[in-house]
Structure 1
Amino acid sequence: MAGAIRDGLRLEAIAADIAGDGDTALELLAVGSYDIAILDRDIPGPSGDEVARAIVQSGSGMPILMLTAADRLDDKESGFELGADDYLTKPFELRELVLRLRALDRRRASVRPPVREYGGLRVDPFRREVYRDGRYVALTRKQFAVLDVLVAAEGGVVSAESLLEQAWDANADPFTNAVRITVSALRKRLGEPWLIVTEPGVGYRVEASA
């Protein structure tokens, strides 16, 4: 069914990738940039509910359309509580799916976050694109989230704890070295001269004059 939906969406000029299980979905979300997630609640591995929860916790604002065979009101209610923006019960017509996707995209476009520019960087949260002095820089979702927080600070120092809270989630291990590793990889992705400065024992900031 996923293949048929993908092919049908392509005929409507909508590009789509398929994840046959929750692990693949999370991997695609970690490396790609998507406008909308269509989730089946009953996929193998991490369920559609778990994937939806991860999307919401990422803070990306990506709309979620849930597909399910269940049509009970309490099932729909639980889906919306997880963060779903719309709900479609199987079986359904492809045309209805397309209409709902376009409605979600219009709604998303009306609340696009502002593009941030600082220190030669241009960060577009809506398109999840980063440019340094006009050069496109490919980042993972986590690297993008960290950079977005740092650029928003406009040169101010952001602590590792604050980055954990804003770029990860409330359940992140405060003793993890994930921030240091991610910042190191991000610094290399942005290239020389280094833009991200480490303030020992304090945190990180973007160097405007670099």
Structure 2
Amino acid sequence: MRVLVTEDDENLRVAVEASLRSAGFAVDVAVDLPQADEALSVNTYDCVVFDRMLPGGDSLDYVALRRREGWGVPVLFLTARDSVADRIAGLASGGDDYLVKPFAVVEMVARVRSLCRRTGTAPTPVLRRSGLELDISRHEARRSGVLLTLTRKEFAVLHRLLAADGRNVTRAELTAAAWDELVAPTSNVLDVLIAQLRRKLGPPPLVHTVRGIGYVLP
């Protein structure tokens, strides 16, 4: 299940992306309407999450135009505009759902999952890569068939790395996936957790450091 998130607020964008990936979605991101339009022109998505007001214009106008062209991908609008008139305008423009900021991230994930069901796909409950297997529904992790004992935060970080499908994952994304509270940029809590995770995964090493960026599980 693939989702495009278009949000210009970096903190919110990272949090939304991390939460969706932790729930088993493949996620692409855009910061403005031109980037979103480019992504939509080359990729197929099961759902698109749009902030209302973006660099380049109001996403309602963009969605309304695409709907007139026959575009049918489900859309969730995220916005601080909470009047009844705003909600009606969002739905009338072609939006399928409308979530007012601030919102609970778990509710946003549930709404995205509901919209994606309309495309007839569902997120895989098990992720596999490089001999690792994560059963999301059971919250179980195995390497080469051996059950691993992971903490909630270790599982969340490993889940985020697996969901990236071999792509680099930034420190900010991993931190957002595992910690609900804000963590100072200078904190070493992520490094400590990665060290613990590497010990539990055993040899040969699977989680690699990408200097200046974060980590990757190739």
TM norm structure 1: 0.50
Q: Which has the higher strand share?
A: 2
